[in-house]
Amino acid sequence: MTKHVTLNVSGDAELAVVADYATVSVSTEVNKPTRETATQAIQPLLDRLRAALVNQPDARNASISRLRVTHETRWDRKREEHVDAGWDARVSGSAEVVAADLKSVTARVLAADAEISNIHWQLDADNVGYRTVRKAAVHVARTAAEDFADALNKELGPLLVLSDAGLSGPQVQSNPFLDEIGSAPTGSAPDGDDNELILDPPMITIGAEVEASYLTA
């Protein structure tokens, strides 16, 4: 009587795919001597930022935060104490933008005298890459089982159990500015930085892992 052997194997795979869209974080702020002047000065900038981002067909799920006004101080070395540094008025926002529309959206934001604080690249939940990498992981597991069966001089039999150990990634978050000196499409980079915005979607690596049990024939 032929004795069947249970083969427990795992399989993993990785795949690099182009990012589908980016969550773009933006902000605008002013510093004035008083709370009142700061609040007044930020209003036209807020209106321009809202017009550039909210209710625009190329900016999904756009939102603008509530106005935040804070009193600032700075350390005076000569006096060895904190001194008044005025009042900061700040608003921030975000929107999801597909790769093809990112240049036009960021140009509008910068033209509104706002800053791009971050660009976080992501994949759509239904990106075909997830299906592809899962199938590849299953193939790796089956190949391993076939190798084990062959080493035992047996034929691979039926699949008993297949479990999904999970997907990994994407975890790509890009700094929106290059290290090389350049110039932004319009406006300026945060903190007076003249570096160029990175607007091309990067490759994002995703992974899948499965565990399987086969019976030899």
Q: What is the pLDDT of residues 112-131, one digit of tens each?
A: 999 999 999 999 999 999 99
Domain 24-122 listed as CATH 3.30.70.2970: yes
Architecture of domain 1-20+123-217: 2-Layer Sandwich (3.30)
Q: What is the pLDDT of residue 187?
A: 33
pLDDT of residue 169: 67
Sequence ranges of the domains in the chain: 1-20+123-217, 24-122
Q: 10 Å Cβ neighbour count for 208?
A: 26
Q: Which of 1-5, 92-96, 130-134, 192-196 has the lowest mean pLDDT?
A: 192-196
> Comparing 1-20+123-217 with 24-122, is the CATH topology the same?
no
Burial of 194 (C-beta count, 10 Å sphere; 0-12/13-18/19+): exposed
Q: What is the pLDDT of residues 71-96, one digit of tens each?
A: 998 888 888 888 889 999 999 999 99
